């Protein structure tokens, strides 16, 4: 019995050691991409600072509330998240089959531990990028308004959860793609174009359905959580106003609710990661 417990303890220690070794290896392998993305995040922040300063020089008054000022900096965050998650996550699974290196690099590690190590390391780098960006935004806001809204921390929490969900989606695309480039391109096209088109189609059909099934819809709570709107939708109309005719009106959802966003992003992340893992094992078994 004691021998069994000893072997179990050694086996558990070996599992954690392999995951740790994978994390270390992945961090060393992706640090150049991380530095490049860090420069991109800082560059976008700097552009917003310059733009705001130029507007003030031209006589444009800055927003009265700090949360409105912060909202301007968060407008591009969704795009930055898609870029960084695609860059760091697209190769997680597909590279083993594209370069045929899966069995050579890690001959004695299970697919689950390998995947966990890669996910932890690369998501951690994405999280650092998000936190770095929020520190920059908090710093400039404190300089301008001598305060940092409490809701900024809540917004950062949503941004980190949204990043994990999008990261999970990119991993899923990696599991079904033939190469890294395809995973990146398809992920970006779906997230930036396809999902937004579907959202617009839903609005124009006048169904009033909340697009909780679209991943990019959850991005809205990152900014909305600074000052949650009530109601969470707005009515919009298009075309020139005609006093003799009623203008068609459409419902546009601004943000998911707190409970809806939390539930939706967690469920999407779980489903996408499980699907990616099963496809990973399936593809590996076919190549053996």
Give domain status of residue 236, yes or no: yes
Give domain status of residue 3, yes or no: no
Give domain status of residue 85, yes or no: yes
Q: How many domains does the chain have?
A: 1
Give domain status of residue 2, yes or no: no
Name the E strands within 108-175.
none
Give domain status of residue 6, yes or no: no
Cα separation of 157 and 194, whole Å?
26
Q: What residue numbers bound the domain in which 124 lies?
A: 11-287
pLDDT tens series, the chain, 288 aa: 555 455 555 556 677 788 888 889 889 999 999 999 999 999 999 999 999 999 999 988 889 999 999 999 999 999 999 999 999 999 898 887 766 554 444 446 677 888 899 999 999 999 999 999 999 999 999 999 999 999 999 999 999 999 999 999 999 999 999 889 999 999 999 999 999 999 888 888 877 789 999 999 999 999 999 999 888 988 877 655 555 566 677 788 999 999 999 999 999 999 999 999 999 888 877 665
Integer CA distances (angstroms), 103 to 19, 72, 189, 273, 287, in order? 16, 47, 31, 21, 10
């Amino acid at each position: 019995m004691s021998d069994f417990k000893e072997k179990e303890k050694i086996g558990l220690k070996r599992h954690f050691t392999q995951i740790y070794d994978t994390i270390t290896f992945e961090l060393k392998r992706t640090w150049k991409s991380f530095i490049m993305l860090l420069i991109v995040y800082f560059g976008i922040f700097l552009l917003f600072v310059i733009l705001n300063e130029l507007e003030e020089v031209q006589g444009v008054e800055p927003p009265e509330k700090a949360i409105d000022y912060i909202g301007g900096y968060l407008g591009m965050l969704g795009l930055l998240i898609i870029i960084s998650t695609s860059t760091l996550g697209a190769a997680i699974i597909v590279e083993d089959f594209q370069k045929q290196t899966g069995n050579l690099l890690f001959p004695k590690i299970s697919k689950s531990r390998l995947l966990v190590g890669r996910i932890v390391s690369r998501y951690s780098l994405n999280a650092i990028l998000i936190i770095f960006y929020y520190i920059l935004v908090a710093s400039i806001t404190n300089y301008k308004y001598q305060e940092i809204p409490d809701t900024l921390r809540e917004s950062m929490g949503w941004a980190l959860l949204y990043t994990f969900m999008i990261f999970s989606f990119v991993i899923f695309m990696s599991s079904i793609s033939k190469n890294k480039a395809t995973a990146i391109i398809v992920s970006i096209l779906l997230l930036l174009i396809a999902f937004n088109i579907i959202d617009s189609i839903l609005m124009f059909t006048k169904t009033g359905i909340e697009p909780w099934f679209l991943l990019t819809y959850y991005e809205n709570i990152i900014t909305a959580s600074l000052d949650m709107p009530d109601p969470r939708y707005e009515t919009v109309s298009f075309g020139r106003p005609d006093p003799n005719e009623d203008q068609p009106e459409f419902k546009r959802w601004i943000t998911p609710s707190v409970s809806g966003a939390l539930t939706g992003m967690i469920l999407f992340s779980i489903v996408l990661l499980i699907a990616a893992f099963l496809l990973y094992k399936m593809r590996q078994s076919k190549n053996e």
